[in-house]
Structure 1
Amino acid sequence: MKIAVVGCTHAGTAAVKNMATLYPQAEITVYEKNDNVSFLSCGIALYVGGVVKDANGLFYSSPDELKNLGVNMKMKHEVLNIDTALKTIKVKNIETNEQFEDSFDKLVMTTGSWPIIPNLEGIDLENIVLSKNFVHANNIIEKAKKAKKIAVIGAGYIGVELVEAFEVYGKEVTFIDGADRILSKYLDPEFTSVVEEELTNRGVMLAMNQSVTKFEGSNGKVEKVITTKGEYEADLVILCVGFRPNTDLVKGQVDMLENGAIIVDEYMRTSNKDVFAAGDSCAIYYNPTRQHAYIPLATNAVRMGTLVAQNLMKPTIKYMGTQGTSGLHIYDYNMASTGVTETAASFFGMNVKSITISENNRPEFMPTYEKITLKLVYEEESRRIVGAQVISKVDVTQAINTLSVCIQNDMTVDQLGFVDFFFQPHFNKPWNFLNQAGLQALSS
């Protein structure tokens, strides 16, 4: 059996490791454009900010490790064309420009995603850079050493982490986004306002609710970002405006969402029985809405890649779907979210209610304690929990993992009030704050 794997970051690495173990007689070939595998792009801000000193620590596997498993690693090879009907693949060696054709019995599409690059005047000016892979990370660090004024465009997780890193680094930072607030896809306003206040107090210029229209500069280098509301000086611009699935190679050959994300079933199979997909290249079942959605997260990718291997020959283990659970640490604040926000629920046409509680993490008779803010989102009729967010200076983010399990198992907000949680004054109160949210919902 010949297995072709296209792309090898998180989903690809997980798939390959497991396939090499499960199918030792198979001929597994990986085609990867880069010279590395398994880069944790979520660590770029930590690397830029100096928290991570050695970038090699952001890799958890290597081409050599996979070779030692018997995998044929074609690094720096670009796939030019795939014919799923004929089961052929056309490839170019980037270093030699040699082109050749190969065949496959099973195809695994783990091509991931690529940053969205807006088609704007001045986009080709020097010092306008992306933040996705290992090369980008090193590029940002080198350019940031000389930069004085940095503009970060896109107020998602990567953007806000880079803003923090640059501010701590002593740079003048402008934060630009088309939404009216930061992190709008992950947190509701009462949470994002806390982070925005912190950023503003530290001198970060927030330029929200405005879109970039062009870039200006001289001598080929960027000097200014022009938006619908103003202009901002910048000698370094980081683009973090989102990602799109990298799936053009099989466009029209398997079913996709409108944005190009490959639709897979619970066994990671595409509409073609011999083509599997995992990671940022595909859409996944989103439990809160009970529909497929595009949620590019490394956690989703490694689970899906592992399941590709388990289900390659026959349907064996079902994917349980995702809640899009994620966490973030900015300055002194720990925050996390799972499922839909109240804001997002309205876009999905969901009829929801919410409960927000502010509580101390442990009894007030203890020498220290910290405030916790938790918000729970649930369907009004079924009372099914569909989302949650938490923020605190003490780390209670694991509570969001608990609520992720609740969503996955269709638990109601009323049931949450009586779940068995331990009590110990060093850690919490007699009524855990998750219980308290459920109990408060009983009267709503």
Structure 2
Amino acid sequence: MKVAVIGCTHAGTAAIVNTAQLYPEAEITVYERNDNISFLSCGIALYVGGVVQDPQGLFYSSPEKLAELGVKTKMRHEVTMVDTKAKTLRAKNLVTGEEFGDTYDKLIVTTGSWPIVPKLPGMELDNILLSKNFNHSNTIIEKAQSVRRITVVGAGYIGVELVEAFQMNGKEVTLVDAEERILSKYLDAEFTGPIEQSLSDHGIALALGEKVTGFEGKDGKVTTVLTDKGRYESDLVILCIGFRPNTELLKGQVEMLPNGAILVDKFMRTSAPDVFAAGDSCAIHYNPTGKSAYIPLATNAVRMGTLVARNLVAETIPYMGTQGTSGIKIYEDNIAGTGLTEDAAKAEGIDAEAVMITDNYRPEFMPTHEQVQLKVVFERSTRRILGAQIMSKMDLTQSINTVSVCIQNGMTVDQLAFIDFFFQPHYNKPWNFLNTAGLQALPKTGAKTETQELVGTK
């Protein structure tokens, strides 16, 4: 069996390693246009901020490790054409310029994503950078050493983590975003408000609800970020606007979402025979809505890549979908979320309710008992849990993984009230705060809920 793999970051590495282990007789060839593989881009801010001293720790594989599994890795090779009907591809050696063809029995497309780069006046100026791969991170660190004023455009996870890292390195930092709130895709206002206050308290200037319109410069280098509401003097600009799937190779050959994300079935198969896809190049099945969605996360990528290998020859393990579970630490706050926010649920046209609690995570008689803020979103009619968000000075983020499992299994907020959690004063209260949220959401009348109907409660 001849297997060709295009792209080798999270999904690609998982697919390759598992394919090599499951099918030792397979001839596996990997095409990667970069000079490194398996870089954990979620570690860029940690690397930039100096928390991670040795960047080699951000790589979890290498061409040498893959070679030990019998995999042929062609670094600095870009695939320029794929014909899914003929099962052929063409590739170019980016070092020598040589072009050649290849064939495959199975094709694995793990081409990932690429940052959205707007077409704005002044984009050609020096010191306007992207933040995606290892080379980007090295350039950011190098450039940041000699500048004072840094502007980050985009207040998603990467942007927020970067402004924190820059501020801790003593820079004057501005965060710009067209949305009125930071992290608006992941958290509701009850959570983003305190985080914004924390950023401001640390001296980070927030320019929210402002759209970047262009850049000005001097001697070929950027000096000013222009928005529809202001001007921000900047020596360095990092664009963190978002990502789009890198799937031009298969355009018109497989089914995609309008943004180019490849649609796959539950066995990671595309609409083209013997063509599989995984990771940031793909749409995922989003359990809270039951629809296909584009949620580029490393966790999604490694699961999907592993499933590609497991289903390469026969249907074995179906994909269970995802809740888009994620977390972030900003200064002293530990934050995590899963599924739909209340705002996102309403945008989907779902009649949703939410319960919000603020409690101490363990008994008040303990020496410390940090406060925890938890919000659970659920569908009004079915009571089905749709999402949750948590924030605390104490690291309680693993609780969101528990809620993710609840959503995965279609549980209701009423059931959440009575799930069996242990009690030990070092860790929690007799009613775990997840139980407490469920209890608070229970109907205030004696009317039966759908959950009560299901379990036969009188």
TM-score normalised over the length of structure 1: 0.99
Distance in 2 between residues matched to 1:173 and 1:21, nearest whole Å: 47
Q: For residue 291 of structure 2, what is the amino acid of its counterpart?
A: Q
> Partner residue of 1:354?
354
Distance in 2 between residues matched to 1:73 and 1:395, nearest whole Å: 40
> Partner residue of 2:45?
45
- Structure 2 gaps of 5+ residues are 445-458
> Partner residue of 2:313?
313
Aligned: 1:172 with 2:164: no
Instruction: Tell me how far 1:277 sits from its aligned partner.
Output: 0.2
Distance in 1 between residues matched to 2:423 and 2:25, nearest whole Å: 52
> Partner residue of 1:206?
206
Distance in 2 between residues matched to 1:360 and 1:237, nearest whole Å: 40
Q: For residue 416 of structure 2, what is the amino acid of its counterpart?
A: L
Aligned: 1:233 with 2:233: yes
* Residues 321-340 of structure 1 aligned to structure 2 (within 5 Å): 321-340=321-340
- Identity rate of aligned residues, in percent? 67
Aligned: 1:404 with 2:407: no
Distance in 2 between residues matched to 1:342 and 1:438, nearest whole Å: 16
Instruction: Tell me how far 1:36 sits from its aligned partner.
Output: 1.1
* Residues 25-424 of structure 1 aligned to structure 2 (within 5 Å): 25-424=25-424
Q: For residue 217 of structure 1, what is the amino acid of its counterpart?
A: G
Q: For residue 163 of structure 1, what is the amino acid of its counterpart?
A: V
Name the SS for the 1:263 alignment partner.
coil
* Residues 425-444 of structure 1 aligned to structure 2 (within 5 Å): 425-443=425-443
- Structure 1 gaps of 5+ residues are none
Name the SS for the 2:145 alignment partner.
helix
Name the SS for the 2:252 alignment partner.
coil
Instruction: Tell me how far 1:222 sits from its aligned partner.
Output: 0.2
Instruction: Tell me how far 1:194 sits from its aligned partner.
Output: 0.7
Q: For residue 325 of structure 2, what is the amino acid of its counterpart?
A: T
Distance in 2 between residues matched to 1:53 and 1:157, nearest whole Å: 21
Query: What's the CA shift string for 1:78-99, capped at 9, x where partnerless?
Result: 1111111111100000000000
Name the SS for the 2:357 alignment partner.
strand
Q: For residue 322 of structure 2, what is the amino acid of its counterpart?
A: T
Q: For residue 393 of structure 1, what is the amino acid of its counterpart?
A: K
Distance in 1 between residues matched to 2:74 and 2:276, nearest whole Å: 19
Instruction: Tell me how far 1:14 sits from its aligned partner.
Output: 0.2
Name the SS for the 1:185 alignment partner.
coil
Distance in 2 between residues matched to 1:189 and 1:130, nearest whole Å: 28
Instruction: Tell me how far 1:149 sits from its aligned partner.
Output: 0.3
> Partner residue of 2:454?
none
Q: For residue 176 of structure 1, what is the amino acid of its counterpart?
A: V
Q: For residue 114 of structure 2, what is the amino acid of its counterpart?
A: W
Distance in 1 between residues matched to 2:265 and 2:310, nearest whole Å: 14
Query: What's the CA shift string for 1:179-199, capped at 9, x where partnerless?
Result: 001000000001000110001
Distance in 2 between residues matched to 1:385 and 1:246, nearest whole Å: 33
Name the SS for the 2:174 alignment partner.
strand
Distance in 2 between residues matched to 1:179 and 1:55, nearest whole Å: 33
Between the two proteins, the alignment pairs up a number of residues equal to 444
Name the SS for the 2:36 alignment partner.
coil
Name the SS for the 1:336 alignment partner.
strand
Distance in 2 between residues matched to 1:318 and 1:273, nearest whole Å: 17
Q: For residue 312 of structure 1, what is the amino acid of its counterpart?
A: L
Instruction: Tell me how far 1:219 sits from its aligned partner.
Output: 0.7
Q: For residue 302 of structure 1, what is the amino acid of its counterpart?
A: V
Distance in 1 between residues matched to 2:366 and 2:443, nearest whole Å: 30
Instruction: Tell me how far 1:24 sits from its aligned partner.
Output: 1.1
> Partner residue of 2:21?
21
Distance in 2 between residues matched to 1:268 and 1:175, nearest whole Å: 38
Instruction: Tell me how far 1:443 sits from its aligned partner.
Output: 2.8
Query: What's the CA shift string for 1:226-279, capped at 9, x where partnerless?
Result: 001001000000000000000000000000000000000100000112100000
Please, what is the CA RMSD of the aligned residues? 0.6
Distance in 2 between residues matched to 1:66 and 1:15, nearest whole Å: 11
Name the SS for the 2:390 alignment partner.
strand
Q: For residue 333 of structure 1, what is the amino acid of its counterpart?
A: D
Runs of 4+, deviation exceeding 4 Å: none
TM-score normalised over the length of structure 2: 0.96
Distance in 1 between residues matched to 2:48 and 2:306, nearest whole Å: 30
Distance in 1 between residues matched to 2:14 and 2:406, nearest whole Å: 26
Q: For residue 36 of structure 2, what is the amino acid of its counterpart?
A: N
Distance in 2 between residues matched to 1:224 and 1:76, nearest whole Å: 35
Instruction: Tell me how far 1:202 sits from its aligned partner.
Output: 1.1
Q: For residue 381 of structure 1, what is the amino acid of its counterpart?
A: S
Instruction: Tell me how far 1:218 sits from its aligned partner.
Output: 1.0
Query: What's the CA shift string for 1:145-200, capped at 9, x where partnerless?
Result: 01100000000000000000001111000000010010000000010001100011
Distance in 2 between residues matched to 1:199 and 1:145, nearest whole Å: 22
Name the SS for the 1:276 alignment partner.
strand
Query: What's the CA shift string for 1:273-318, capped at 9, x where partnerless?
Result: 2100000000010000000000000000000000000000111100
Query: What's the CA shift string for 1:13-55, capped at 9, x where partnerless?
Result: 0000000011111111000001111100000000000000000
Q: For residue 354 of structure 1, what is the amino acid of its counterpart?
A: A
Distance in 2 between residues matched to 1:261 and 1:83, nearest whole Å: 18
Instruction: Tell me how far 1:10 sits from its aligned partner.
Output: 0.3
Distance in 2 between residues matched to 1:372 and 1:40, nearest whole Å: 29
Distance in 2 between residues matched to 1:220 and 1:63, nearest whole Å: 38
Instruction: Tell me how far 1:389 sits from its aligned partner.
Output: 0.0
Q: For residue 49 of structure 1, what is the amino acid of its counterpart?
A: G
Name the SS for the 2:283 alignment partner.
strand
